[in-house]
A and B are shown apart, each in its own frame.
Chain A
Amino acid sequence: MEVVMNQQRKKIHPHKFTLWVAIASILMMFAGLTSAFIVKSNLTGWRNIKMPTVFWYSTAAILLSSLTIQVAIRSFKQREMKQYRSMIAWTLVLGVAFIVLQYFGFKNLWEQNIRFSGSAGAGQFLYVIFGLHALHVIGGAIALLVMFLKAYVGKVKLYSSVPVEVMATYWHFVDILWIYLLVFFIVIG
């Protein structure tokens, strides 16, 4: 009996667990796309691309935002709400910066005459894969915005750190996913 009890007390929160399963699911989508990339890169008419340098800046932005959200969790747990709010705000700003920088990266590629139409190449995949990744970041940014507004407007004091932790886990995930995609394009593309 004691053993059963202890096992149940150690159980992960259902929302956190749901997020981990969702992450597995999202990973499968990107696994599908990147394996399609590998298959296609061996066929005729494949064109490689030169990675725009602006993607390095966006990498820096998203890496930094992972740091700020981690600080946000710590300050939430220590009930330093002022620091928590500013760290959430910084994460949001960096997230938006990431998306803007991605836009400039796409624009740069477009100016290199890498278009949708015509023969296949790494560029078309890049638009799709980085675009889908950006959509996931935008989704996260919207959730961050809600969290930010709640921290300012909400009158109810929140003590459960679960929503913050779920948010942070997702945010780290899109960060790591970005690193994977970038490395993938540099090594294979």
Chain B
Amino acid sequence: MSEATHIHPGSVGHEVAHDDHHHGHHEQSFITKYIFSQDHKTIGKQFLITGIIWAIVGGLFSVLFRLQLGFPGQSFPILETFFGHWAKGGTIQPEFYYALVTMHGTVLVFFVLTAGLSGTFANLLIPLQVGARDMASPFMNMLSYWFFFMASIVMISSLFIQTGPASGGWTVYPPLSALGQASDGSKLGMDLWIVAMALFVVSSLLGGLNYIATILNMRTKGMSMTRLPLTIWALFFTAVLGVLSFPVLLSGLILLLFDRNLGTSFYLSDIVVAGEVLPNEGGSAILFQHLFWFLGHPEVYIILLPAMGMVSEILSVNSRKPIFGYMAMLGSLFAIAILAFLVWAHHMFVTGLNPFLGSVFVLLTLLIAVPSAIKVFNWLTTLWRGNIRLFPSTLFAIGFVSLFISGGLTGIFLGNSTIDIHLHDTMFVVAHFHIVMGVASMFGMFAGVYHWFPKMFGRYLNATLGYVHFWVTMIGSYLIFWPMHYEGLAGMPRRYLDKSIWKSFNQFGDLDKMITVVSIIVFAVQLMFVFNFFYSIFKGRKVTSTNPWGANTLEWTTPINPGHGNWEGEIPEVHRWAYDYGKDGREFIPQTEPVGANESKH
């Protein structure tokens, strides 16, 4: 027994870790510490701050196109000052509108809610919560951020070229996206979009490989898989989804690049564009949709799962109760990850898909309701009769559950291929996925930022601003997206520039104005959050104890401002799961505490 305790766990992982530990003691220049850093915590912060910048850009785009939707054709001279010929006379031009919609989707889905969310928290939390000094390969981890950075540069540069960025929707369906002569947004902007996305795929693969290897191979002594916090499980399944689905998107984009630039016919067939008959024959545009949605559907879980994991953790910590149904949470994460790969064609019910095949996809899609309902039940029962501390992080976590329920229920409508015939490509779809995936995941991200900000920067975010941020965003989100369900049920199409020629949609004119005004307010409140974020990094209230929230997980056993290597001295050993709250009369029992002789079972 005494001999066994001398052996370091995971000899190899430890050896790597020790190297890093020694690095920590060397004098580091500004560049190796903050820019080309290999410290997972710094890389996480880099992802977060880049993600915040992208969120401001992507959010601003939505405000701009909401101006057009709320006040069609009205002139806002300030827009011409900023955007020149794209907003001639102060009204948003059709090409610009399409570009805004496309870039809003791309930026928010990939750059904010994939890189900004799982990039941030996987980097920050995986080594800290599994008890490792750093990732399996810190160098690859650094590359992951810099590929994301390059992708960002390429995508940003596409905003400043003469013909404008990619347009035609974030799904970039051919033939529109394959033919430069089809629209301005299919010219150089589209090539830059593809290149940026290819770089992004490389970034997320490098990251994902590391996350998986670290979770499976570099856990500290005693940290068995079933003692992992649910955040780690969620990030693990997220990484698996990404590693298996992003390459398929890449292959689809490579074929698209060939069609665009070398004249191949993978997606093109029998096309006449601008009076010109194209020689392409035998291509299939539907093929692209299959390849795209094989990533595209897992992608929504890549966005959602990290939020689910963090919400589980935060709700348990702040209701001072163990998570309800740990194994059920785990099983439902697993079920969602499997089903994520088997439902992509529900995005394609109206493409001429064989109705029999469609019915299979309906069944598989509706099956997702089962693990989702299990998770909702468990979150609510975790809160039930808890000793709830309503921090901003708790509120955002509860907000996540609320939005996940609201948005999830409309998923049952859309998952039925027959109802989808009426609802597809209407505002109902916009309402559904924004609530369940977009806003809900943003809420999970905010919850995570409020909860782990003390770990990241050694200071607290201002809580008063946090409460204002929560309530305005919460009420605003429902005011923005709830009415869209009614518009969609009435048949109002999404993506359209101007719907005023349909007399039947005029009844929604004031509603659209309201949505636009609320979205401007909500956007302003997000800027307030950004102010709070940067102000608090430098001037926030200082954290004085290592474990400010009274949480059990390992990240709170590190020093307040941990160096590279995380723990001074040995990595702590783990003796229990992460959720011993309110047990045997004690408020919380950290994972590092050995199980007592008379302790009750959980």
* A-to-B contact residues, CB < 8 Å: 1-2, 4-5, 8-9, 11-15, 17-18, 21-22, 24-26, 28-33, 36, 39-40, 43-46, 116-121, 124, 128, 132
Q: CA of A92 to CA of B287 in the docked complex: distance in angstroms?
A: 38
Q: Known: A13-B12, A18-B210, A32-B294. Is A117-B248 also a contact (CB below 8 A)?
A: no
Docked-complex contact B247 and A32, CB < 8 angstroms: yes
Q: Known: A40-B282, A120-B281. Is A33-B265 also a contact (CB below 8 A)?
A: no
Docked-complex contact A119 and B280, CB < 8 angstroms: yes
**Interface assignment of B105: CB less than 8 Å from any CB of chain A:** no
**Interface assignment of B11: CB less than 8 Å from any CB of chain A:** yes
25 A-B pairs (CB sep. < 8 Å): A1-B1, A5-B7, A8-B10, A11-B10, A12-B217, A13-B12, A15-B137, A18-B137, A18-B210, A21-B213, A21-B243, A25-B244, A32-B252, A40-B287, A44-B282, A45-B265, A45-B269, A116-B262, A116-B263, A119-B279, A119-B280, A120-B265, A120-B280, A120-B282, A132-B254
| Chain B positions within 8 Å of A40 at CB level | 266, 282-284, 287
| Chain B positions within 8 Å of A25 at CB level | 205, 208-209, 243-244, 246-247
Q: CA of A119 to CA of B245 in the docked complex: distance in angstroms?
A: 29
Docked-complex contact B248 and A32, CB < 8 angstroms: yes
Q: Known: A14-B12, A28-B248, A40-B266. Is A45-B282 also a contact (CB below 8 A)?
A: yes
Docked-complex contact A39 and B284, CB < 8 angstroms: yes
Docked-complex contact A128 and B254, CB < 8 angstroms: yes
Partner pick for B258 among A9, A17, A124, CB 8 A cutoff: A124
Docked-complex contact A14 and B264, CB < 8 angstroms: no
Q: CA of A116 to CA of B279 in the docked complex: distance in angstroms?
A: 12
Docked-complex contact B280 and A39, CB < 8 angstroms: no
Docked-complex contact B266 and A117, CB < 8 angstroms: no
Apart from A11-B10, A14-B217: 15 A-B pairs, beta carbons within 8 A? A15-B136, A15-B213, A18-B209, A28-B245, A29-B251, A30-B251, A32-B251, A32-B252, A33-B251, A33-B254, A43-B282, A45-B282, A117-B264, A118-B265, A132-B254
**Interface assignment of B562: CB less than 8 Å from any CB of chain A:** no
| Chain A positions within 8 Å of B221 at CB level | 4, 8
Q: Which residues of B189-218 are within 8 A (CB) of A? A: 205, 208-210, 212-214, 216-218
| Chain A positions within 8 Å of B222 at CB level | 4
Nearest chain A residue, comparing its CB with the CB of B249: A32
Task: Report, nearest first, the 8 A-B pairs whose CB atoms are least far apart.
Answer: A45-B282, A117-B263, A29-B247, A14-B136, A119-B281, A120-B282, A32-B251, A32-B248
Q: CA of A8 to CA of B218 in the docked complex: distance in angstroms?
A: 9
Min distance, Cβ A174 to any Cβ of chain B, angstroms? 15
| Chain A positions within 8 Å of B216 at CB level | 17
Interface string of B126-151 (1 = CB under 8 A from A): 00000000001100100000000000
Number of interface residues of B (CB under 8 A): 53
Q: CA of A24 to CA of B205 in the docked complex: distance in angstroms?
A: 11
| Chain A positions within 8 Å of B248 at CB level | 28-29, 31-32
Docked-complex contact B247 and A28, CB < 8 angstroms: yes
| Chain B positions within 8 Å of A36 at CB level | 251-252, 255, 266, 287, 290-291
Q: Known: A36-B287, A40-B284. Is A14-B218 also a contact (CB below 8 A)?
A: yes
Q: CA of A4 to CA of B209 in the docked complex: distance in angstroms?
A: 25
Docked-complex contact A39 and B290, CB < 8 angstroms: yes
